[in-house]
Amino acid sequence: MPVYFPDSFHTFECVGDVSIIQAWLVPITFDEAKFIKQYGWEDFEDMLVNIDPDLVNFKRASIIT
């Protein structure tokens, strides 16, 4: 779910049984991709919460040391 937006933005309930879910793509580095493959997305997401990098900066340094 998108973390930069309020919870009310995550899902838009349409009329009937159709919902629109806001997906957010996060640019990651090569080392971050290797970390995700080895440890899983959940561990990487926990690191994002703890470190709070600028995810809209495409030139940011990797959070994997």
10-residue stretch averages of pLDDT, the chain, 65 residues long: 61 71 82 97 91 90 93
Can you say how many angstroms the Cα of residue 15 is from the centroid of all Cα atoms in its chain? Answer: 28
Rounded to whole angstroms, how far apart are CA atoms 48 and 38? Answer: 16
What is the pLDDT, as a whole number, of residue 8?
A: 67
- In 1-65 the beta strands, taken as DSSP E runs, fall at 11-13, 19-21
What is the pLDDT, as a whole number, of residue 56?
A: 83
Question: pTM for the complete prediction?
Answer: 0.67
What is the pLDDT, as a whole number, of residue 17?
A: 75
What is the pLDDT, as a whole number, of residue 2?
A: 45
What is the pLDDT, as a whole number, of residue 65?
A: 83
Rounded to whole angstroms, how far apart are CA atoms 44 and 62? Answer: 12
